[in-house]
Amino acid sequence: MANSAVVEKDKFFKGSSCRSFEKINEVIERHGKKQAALIPILQEVQDEYRYLPEEILTYVATALNLSPATVYGVATFYAQFSLEPKGKYVIKVCDGTACHVRGSNPVRDAIRKRVGLNGEKQTTNDLRFTVETVSCLGACGLAPVVMINDQIYGQMTADAINIIIDKVLEEEGETC
């Protein structure tokens, strides 16, 4: 049945808004319900939610006539996908060789302190910030490097990154 995924939407979207469901359906339809489009579909869904909720993975599997295990396998294989909610601001701290040698650890520690993260936790409770350590951001000549969403910042120090975080929040009219 061509609309079987649509018919069963309530099974997957308990408590979710219709608007969210409509967006996912638009993404799936735009890709022609093709199994080969699984990765771009997951990318667009993640752009919408900032992560891939389990019920969405199951829904996408049903819509594409794939097993949930297949969709979950793809979502967990690629580092670009996250099964955990991410913050509005995803801060990636490079810890490649050049960045590490030039002081990425104190920069990361300053970021975590500034946004209020302790222990192993990566995302703040208010979903404002996610702080990740990555292997390389490809800007070694600017080490140490930090990326906030899609913006690269080079030659970072603890003081410099705190100023940048404050500026990002000011532009949004927010405080931390």
Range of the structural domain that residue 141 is part of: 89-171
- Which pLDDT tens digit goes with each residue over 81-123? 999 999 999 999 999 999 999 999 999 999 999 999 999 999 9
Could you tell me which of 36, 135, 54, 65 has the C-alpha nearest to residue 95? 135
- Which pLDDT tens digit goes with each residue over 144-176? 999 999 999 999 999 999 999 999 888 877 655
Report the domain count for the chain. 2
Q: Are residues 65 and 98 in the same domain?
A: no
Does 84 map to a domain?
A: no
- How many whole angstroms separate alpha carbon 160 and alpha carbon 107? 9
Q: Are residues 73 and 119 in the same domain?
A: no
Does 21 map to a domain?
A: yes
- Given a cut of 70, whether residue 75 has pLDDT beyond it is yes
